[in-house]
């Protein structure tokens, strides 16, 4: 049995469909590659896996890596020791404005509160430290939230 030759319009459709498929796969692979390169990967369930050895910002104690929003919470991971890490909720404990990393500490742009890199409050009006976000370290991967 021989296959019937494709007419020109059907052949053009198939070539176009394959091109779109290839383009789609290409962008997906690029996105995955970029995440793998940074060591930070968001799971479908919203949790974020941080392969700590692959994140340059976590190479030294006191380093911090921003994760963006994790399940709706602005979050960072801080290396607190040789093999300890802490995920922080970056909402200021005064009135909830997200803090930013400046000169090795967290600063709130709203009213000037400041927090040490591990989240401990160092300057008011905030009265309490940044909250922790649940995280579990397993075989070099910190799973956050």
Per CB under 6 A, residues contacting ligand FES are 92, 94-95, 97, 108, 110-113, 125-126
In 10 A of CB 140, how many CB atoms? 12
- Choice between 50 and 126, CB closer to ligand FES: 126
In the bound state with ligand FES, the residue whose beta carbon lies nearer, of 79 and 94, is 94
Output 61 or 110, the one with its CB closest to ligand FES.
110
Rounded Cα gap, residues 96 and 26, in angstroms: 39
Q: Are 46 and 145 in contact, with CB atoms under 8 Å apart?
A: yes
Look at phi and psi of residue 60 and say left if phi exceeds 0, alpha if psi is from -120 to 50, else beta: beta
User: Minimum Å distance from CB 76 to ligand FES?
Assistant: 16
Q: How far is the CB of 81 from ligand FES (least distance, A)?
A: 27
């Amino acid at each position: 049995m021989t296959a019937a030759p494709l007419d020109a319009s059907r052949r053009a459709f198939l070539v176009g469909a394959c091109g779109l498929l290839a383009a789609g796969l290409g962008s997906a692979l690029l996105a995955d590659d970029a995440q793998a390169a940074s060591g930070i990967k968001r799971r479908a369930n919203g949790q974020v896996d941080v392969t700590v050895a692959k994140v340059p910002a976590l190479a030294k104690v006191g380093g911090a890596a921003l994760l963006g929003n994790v399940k709706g919470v602005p979050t960072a991971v801080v290396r607190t020791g040789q093999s300890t890490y802490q995920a922080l909720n970056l909402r200021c404990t005064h009135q909830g404005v997200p803090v930013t990393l400046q000169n090795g500490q967290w600063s709130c742009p709203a009213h000037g509160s400041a927090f040490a890199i591990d989240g401990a409050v160092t300057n008011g009006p905030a009265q309490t430290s940044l909250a922790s976000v649940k995280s579990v370290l397993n075989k070099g991967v910190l799973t956050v939230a």
